[in-house]
Each structure stands twice: as C-alpha cells, then as structure tokens.
Amino acid sequence: MGFLALPSLDVLDYDKESLLNLIIETVTTQQLRLPTAIAKETWIWNGHKVQYAVQGVGRPLLLIHGFGASIGHWRKNIPALAEGGYRVFALDLLGFGGSDKAPLNYTLELWEELITDFWTEHIQEPTVFIGNSIGALLSLMLVANHPEKSAGGVLINCAGGLNHRPEELNPPLRLVMGTFSKLVSSPTVGTFLFNRIRQKHRIRNTLRQVYRNREAITDELVDLLYEPSCDVGAQKVFASILTAPPGTPPSEILPNVTHPLLVLWGEDDPWTPIAGSRIFQQSHPDRTITFKSIPNTGHCPHDERPEVVNPLILDWLKTSLSGNSNP
C-alpha cells in the first residue's frame, strides 16, 4: 500500500506536443505556481528524531502523509493553505522522510501516539487533521479518539488499514501476500527485495499505476520517495510495516466522530478504490460529512490536482468551521 510496495506497469512516454501543452498549462494556471522551499525543523520524540515543518499564521492544520511519502508530498499544498490564513504543520512520520528509521514495531497506534505528543508540545489548540491514504486513516483516528485536540478532518483517499486484511483477500492472493510478508522480514532475502523495489525506475513505474495525472510524475517526486529509502534502517521499517496489523477499519471508527469531515477521493485510484468511500457517503445524517469525488485522478489528488484540492479544502474550512470560536 505504498510507493515502494507494488509492481509496475509500463506506459508510453509523452511526445513533444504533450510536453508543450504541459508547459503552457503550467504557466497559465495560477494555482500551479512553483512550490517554495519548505524549511524543516527537528523534534526529539522518545529519543528519536522527527522532522517537521510549519508555515503561516492562524488556525492550525496538521498534514499527515501516506506510506512511503514525507513532508515533501505536500509541497504543492502547504504554501497555498498557509496563504489562505492557516498555520500549517506537517511532519515526517517516524520511519519515513527525514525522521529516524528507528528499529520499532510500526503500527497505526504508534504514529497516533507520536502525533498526539507532537500536538501537545507544538500546537495545543483544536486542529484540523489532513491526511492522504494511511495519513487519512490516522486523521480519522485522531478526530474520533481525541475530540479535544481536533476541530475536524480532511481525508484524501482514505486507506482501509495499514495492510490488507486476510479475510478481504481471495485464497490464492492471501497465500501470495503471506509468503511475501515472510520474505520481506528475512535478513537476507528481505534486503534483496527491498533494494530491488526501491530502485528509481520501479518507483516511477509504480507512480504510473496510481497517478492518473502523469504530468505530476516528476524527477523531484521520484527523488522525494527514493532518498529516504537509502537511510540506515529503512529496510527494517519497510518489513515492520508490511507485517504489521491492519488496525481498526474506518467503518468502526466513524461512529465516534463528532467533528466535521471533508472526504476527497480520486475516482481512478487502484489502491483505495472509490467504492471505499461509501461508508462516508452513507454515514448517519447527523454526522457532518462533505464528500467530493475528483475525476481523472488517482491515489494522491493533493499532488496530482492541487489546483482542485487546495480550493476545496480552503472553501470547506471557511464554511464548515466558521462557527468555531478558534482563530
């Protein structure tokens, strides 16, 4: 369920006409400004280095990336949200990005504890948690389990779990995934597999599976995903996550949510298909949930279509949270 985990599909390169159209579109679309550099800071949590960033002034937002990603995956969103009048925090979950690749048992609950401790030390006021994929599932957990820390949540292509649940797989695939999980944990075979999976061309091909907007698949994005995989301990983190329990499903978390949610979903996501959004669309009417599907978009709408996602988030923040007394 991450950029380093799935096999790839081959696609044709863009021709010169397509490249020219991309340049014209980029120059003429206001929302697609070149991202500004995001300054990083360091926080020590339980003896481990955690990298984070903060921009802007106003009500706090906390951005939580998905598996294999990092703060940089929000590079097209942080400046726009900060300019919209918000104090935008983002962090690299332990095990990812510029944070330590600590030798721990990685679970959703570990990251939930990390984020709540970060909130206590750095934010200390009701926050809108915004996440993609596993980051969206973490955001849902935070909104439901810590209502005193939350003002709402934005879930972008929310994952159903940290891993596939065995009961959701047909028997042959269940056997394959079980065997793969054992192999990635092997001290010898696991390292061999990880070093093959993390090669740049494989990362690019995986992105081509899950990004409908191929123009968003840049060298910068590939490097953003590749470089942390070179850190000492990255392979053990990878193995720990792929063999971790999936966690509580969204359907069991949702009844405990008391704050507003914005649920965004790329319609062409092969990893978390839009069918998974039904539990949010069919939620009890007394629960404030706004749902928006985004056509011609895959697993990462915030990176594929920032010109669509940023205004949707800002409009929702303005309308759905206007009654909240926090600045």
**What's the sign of the alpha-carbon dihedral 156, 160, 164, 168?**
negative
Range with the poorest average pLDDT among 151-155, 163-167, 169-173, 201-205: 169-173
pLDDT of residue 36: 53
d(CA 324, CA 210): 36
For the chain, the average pLDDT equals: 86
pLDDT in tens, 169-222: 556 656 666 677 777 778 788 889 899 999 999 999 999 999 999 999 999 999
Range with the poorest average pLDDT among 1-5, 87-91, 294-298, 321-325: 1-5
pLDDT winner (highest mean) among 115-124, 162-171, 240-249, 276-285: 115-124
pLDDT of residue 22: 36
Q: Which two tokens stand for residue 263?
A: 């649920």
Residue (of 63, 32, 36) closest to 127 by Cα position: 63
d(CA 112, CA 84): 27
d(CA 135, CA 65): 5
pLDDT of residue 34: 40
pLDDT of residue 321: 80
Q: How confident is the model at residue 287 (pLDDT cuts 50, 70, 90)?
A: low
pLDDT of residue 185: 77
pLDDT of residue 196: 92
3-state secondary structure the chain: CCCCCCCCCCCCCCCHHHHHHHHHHHHHCHHHCCCCCCCCEEEEECCEEEEEEEECCCEEEEEECCCCCCHHHHCCCHHHHHHCCEEEEEECCCCCCCCCCCCCCCCHHHHHHHHHHHHHHHCCCCEEEEEECHHHHHHHHHHHHCHHHEEEEEEECCCCCCCCCHHHCCHHHHHHHHHHHHHHCCCCHHHHHHHHHCCHHHHHHHHHHHCCCHHHCCHHHHHHHHHHHHCCCHHHHHHHHHCCCCCCCHHHHHHHCCCCEEEEEECCCCCCCHHHHHHHHCCCCCCCEEEEEECCCCCCHHHHCHHHHHHHHHHHHHHHCCCCCCC
Q: Average the pLDDT over 103-128 and give the result.
A: 98
Neighbouring CB atoms inside 10 A of 190's CB total 18
Q: Judge whether 131 and 65 are in contact, CB under 8 Å.
A: yes
Range with the poorest average pLDDT among 77-91, 169-183, 237-251, 284-298: 169-183
The single-letter code of the amino acid at 158 is: C
Q: Judge whether 304 and 211 are in contact, CB under 8 Å.
A: yes
pLDDT of residue 205: 95
Architecture of domain 40-321: 3-Layer(aba) Sandwich (3.40)
Q: Which two tokens stand for residue 196?
A: 């093959």
Q: How confident is the model at residue 30 (pLDDT cuts 50, 70, 90)?
A: very low
Q: Considering only residues 14 and 225, tell me which one the structure prediction assigns the higher pLDDT.
A: 225
pLDDT in tens, 303-314: 999 999 999 999
pLDDT winner (highest mean) among 27-31, 220-224, 322-326: 220-224
Q: Judge whether 290 and 261 are in contact, CB under 8 Å.
A: yes
d(CA 286, CA 281): 12
Residue (of 71, 65, 132, 60) closest to 98 by Cα position: 71
Q: Average the pLDDT over 85-105 and give the result.
A: 98
Q: How confident is the model at residue 66 (pLDDT cuts 50, 70, 90)?
A: very high
* Statement: residue 316 has pLDDT above 80: yes
What is the CA 217 to chain-centroid distance, rounded? 16
Range with the poorest average pLDDT among 7-16, 51-60, 208-217: 7-16
Question: ∠244-247-251 over CA atoms, to 5°?
Answer: 155
Q: Considering only residues 165 and 155, tell me which one the structure prediction assigns the higher pLDDT.
A: 155
Q: Considering only residues 266 and 284, tell me which one the structure prediction assigns the higher pLDDT.
A: 266
pLDDT of residue 108: 97
Q: Which two tokens stand for residue 164?
A: 């596939």
pLDDT of residue 190: 87
Q: Judge whether 276 and 161 are in contact, CB under 8 Å.
A: no
Domain boundaries, the chain: 40-321
* Statement: residue 122 has pLDDT above 80: yes
